[in-house]
Amino acid sequence: MPPIWQETHGRNQLIGIKGRLDHDLTAPLDYLLRTLMEQGQSQLVVDLTAVTYINSGGLRVLVSARRRAQEIGGSLTLLGLSPRLLEIFQMVGFDTLFPIYPTRQAWEAQQDRDER
């Protein structure tokens, strides 16, 4: 599996990241998120289940993408933060910026409820 992957899930674009979200992956992730939004995709979901580390650049990409998504009437949701990643998000106050689901299954269940 590549370090960044994408799939369509209903009206959402699901983006998964594997490994370290640091200088090696921030530019490709930022490019993918920008491209999706330029193509009119505004409902973005980033799966961080397989992320083992995030640096300030990775946080910046996510916050910037959230802002851009909101500007076009969309949102950016996060899935699968490890306890350590969640702690980082809480320390910097980002846990209040994003809808966060513990697992992909929890997010999918919420999507199913919303569609009813």
CATH of the domain at 69: 3.30.750.24
- Model confidence at 92, pLDDT cuts 50, 70, 90, reads very high
The tens digit of pLDDT for each residue in 9-52 reads 989 999 999 999 999 999 999 999 999 999 999 999 999 999 99
In angstroms, rounded to a whole number, what is the distance separating the alpha carbons of residues 110 and 35?
Answer: 26
Mean pLDDT of 105-116: 87
pTM of the complete model: 0.94
**pLDDT reported for residue 113:** 85
Number of domains making up the chain: 1
100 pLDDT exceeds 90? yes
Percent with pLDDT over 90 in the chain = 92
When pLDDT is averaged across residues 72-101 and rounded to a whole number, the result is 96
Sign of CA dihedral 66, 68, 70, 73: negative
Q: 13 φ, ψ to 5°?
A: -105, 120
Residue 100 phi/psi, 5-degree rounding, is -125, 130
Measured distance CA(108)–CA(69) in Å, rounded: 20
Tell me what pLDDT residue 1 has. 65
Structural domain for 96, as ranges = 4-115
Residue pointed to by tokens 């994408």: 6
Query: At residue 116, does pLDDT exceed 90?
Result: no
pLDDT at residue 114, rounded to an integer: 82
Separation between Cα atoms, residue 63 and residue 56, nearest integer Å? 10
